Copies of this chain bind each other. A is one copy, B any other.
């Protein structure tokens, strides 16, 4: 299994995905192929492939003969995203719980993360702590995804991650929220490590519910309306 060098299409795709996640490419921004060719140094063929892939992932809207734009974020899209995650991720964490019960190595990995989360609480509130927490939370989410047995479930959740990340980067980080969120992650970890699949799923559901609540409070939008946000 020699690691192939990533193709230019891969590179352009990864670069654009990151820039969209970080909000450097704002929702609604126009992505002309020629402009991307200049920016990335690749030719139109890999650029096109990257754009098509991003469109399949929902990060880019593609209008025939009109080109690509960074997909917009509406209150409705946020609600849809979290509703969908609430459907999928508890199921994934159930599978991860079973996997961790059967695989001691995996169990240790999750135990280490639980301790890392607990360690976060000892630090004084700061943007540095916020960032290290979100990094840790990302690693935890990723570990859950990897431990998910079902291929469709795994792929679908993985595809949602950039959307969630973008939302977090577009909205303001809420230092208050970190404190609570750590606790919620600890609850999920504890249930997972105890082999309590239902408990882990329930804790994760609760975490998602509160995250959505916080996001809407910060965006000052209400879940019902369908106006464009952030752009």
Interface residues of A (CB under 8 A from B): 4, 7, 45, 48-49, 52-53, 56, 58, 64-65, 77, 80-81, 83-84, 87-88, 91, 149-153, 155-156, 160
Contacts and interface: CB of A to CB of B under 8 A. Distances in A.
Residue from A45, A77, A80 with most neighbouring chain B CB atoms (10 Å) = A80
A144 to B, nearest CB: 16
Contacts of A151: 77, 80
A56 B52 CA distance: 10
A9 B155 CA distance: 24
Contact of A4 (B4, B64, B84, B87): B64
Given A4-B64, A52-B53, A64-B7, A152 B91 contact: no
A175 B99 CA distance: 39
A56 B49 CA distance: 12
Nearest to A153: B84
A74 to B, nearest CB: 10
Given A4-B65, A7-B64, A64-B7, A87 B153 contact: yes
Task: Give this chain's copy count.
Answer: 2
Contact of A49 (B52, B80, B87): B52
Nearest to A57: B56
A149 to B, nearest CB: 8
Contact of A152 (B49, B80, B150, B155): B80
Contacts of A83: 150, 152-153
Nearest first, the 6 A-B pairs at minimum CB distance are A84-B152, A56-B56, A80-B150, A80-B151, A4-B64, A87-B91
A1 B145 CA distance: 41
Contacts of A155: 58
A118 B7 CA distance: 54
A151 B52 CA distance: 19
A53 B54 CA distance: 11
Contacts of A52: 49, 52-53
